[in-house]
Structure 1
Amino acid sequence: MPETRPSLDIAARSLAEIGEAIAARGRPPVDNWNPSHCGHSGMRIDREGRWWHEGRRIERDALVRLFASVLRREPDGRHVLVTPVEKLDIDVELAALRVVAMTFEGDGEERRIAFQLNDGEAVILGPDHPLSFRDGMPLVNARGGIEASFERPVYYELAELALLEDPPGLWSNGQFFAFANA
């Protein structure tokens, strides 16, 4: 079945509107599906967040969104594509998703930051979606251990915002994420 849900666009929306839109979106219940492992999908996600199948890049955004909707992170750290009847491994070089845009409201401890992801979803940085660093690169937990890395322009915007704080870091949704040891 083709992906028919439109991307959740964060542009020109308040953080309250973004939060409501996030809450209203349904997702496939991948955490409730426990089919047998069927092998490898022949797919991988490279460091730049591009999806590949058997050496050929998947160019259709709707197809990437469809696959991303059934992506799950296993307790052992592996990424799998899961449906009610099958589970297939997928290789992920850095992070399965990418942050493609951001917006924020407020300053300091009152700030809230929203990220738009390349799978058409959005998250608000905070306790439920924390920021971490791997090899000096920021990653946000998008859902269930699935991480998103940052497109370069968004990373620069994020870093500029972090440099306004002393020590460098980000406040969002009542939590501080330090950049000092990144």
Structure 2
Amino acid sequence: MVDEMEPQLPLSEGELLPCGIVIDREGDWYYQGSRMHRADIVSHLCQHLGRDESSGLYIIQMGKQRCYLEVEDTPLVITGVLHTEEREGDKPEQLLLAIKHLETHEPLDRESLWIGEQNVLYCRVMEGGIPARFLRPAYYQLAEFIHEDKEQNRFYLSLGGKHFYIG
């Protein structure tokens, strides 16, 4: 049973081989067709996500070994947005993202937002290296900070007294 053992990934130093992993639109991971239930394993694999520059494929890389995985939309999804107020002498007002399968919150890169097909909202995470899709609950949490510029017919994120246009 997949959730009881760690997947034996075909990590290779030469040819880029498939991992046998598929990530669906909701950010759920499947190994050889079975859903991966071990949060610790999925979290560990998420921390080793990357992109192969020559093929454009998403990969898991551990040291020099790597394999590619299939991704239905984005390899990571945003499950929640936490707003932190500006405090004197401390960090400025910011939005922190909860990323499925990762136990930490990451500050939103406000300039990385874009709207995809069917008005789905995306951003870049993990130091800008990986795209992530906002799940519906996270989208609604972020929507509180989004406004329309009717003159430019564009939307922007308003945070800390500044406007960051989306797209």
TM-score of the superposition, structure 2-length normalised?
Answer: 0.72
RMSD: 2.7
1:14-62 Cα deviation digits (max 9, x unpaired): xxxxxxxxxxxxxxxxxxxx93234100101111111011111111221
| Whole-Å separation in 2 of the counterparts to 1:174 and 1:42 | 46
Larger Rg: 2
Q: What is the identity percentage for the equivalent residue pairs of Structure 1 and Structure 2?
A: 25
Alpha-carbon contact 1:35-1:83 (below 8 Å) kept = no
Matches within 5 A, 1:80-95: 80-95=59-74
Shift in Å, 1:172: 4.5
Q: Does 1:139 align with 2:125?
A: no
Higher strand share: 2
Alpha-carbon contact 2:30-2:36 (below 8 Å) kept = yes
Alpha-carbon contact 1:132-1:140 (below 8 Å) kept = yes
Shift in Å, 1:81: 0.7
Instruction: Give unpaired runs (5+ residues) of structure 2.
Output: 1-11, 87-91
| Closer/same/farther in 2, CA of residues 157 and 69 from structure 1, 3 Å limit | same
| Closer/same/farther in 2, CA of residues 65 and 46 from structure 1, 3 Å limit | same
Higher helix share: 1
Which amino acid is the alignment partner of residue 138 of structure 1? L
SS of residue paired to 1:37:
coil
Tell which has more relative contact order, 1 or 2 (C-alpha 8 A, sep 6+).
Answer: 1
Instruction: Give unpaired runs (5+ residues) of structure 1.
Output: 1-33
Pairs aligned (count) = 143
| Whole-Å separation in 2 of the counterparts to 1:130 and 1:100 | 17
| Whole-Å separation in 1 of the counterparts to 2:143 and 2:116 | 15
| Whole-Å separation in 2 of the counterparts to 1:156 and 1:41 | 34
TM-score of the superposition, structure 1-length normalised?
Answer: 0.67
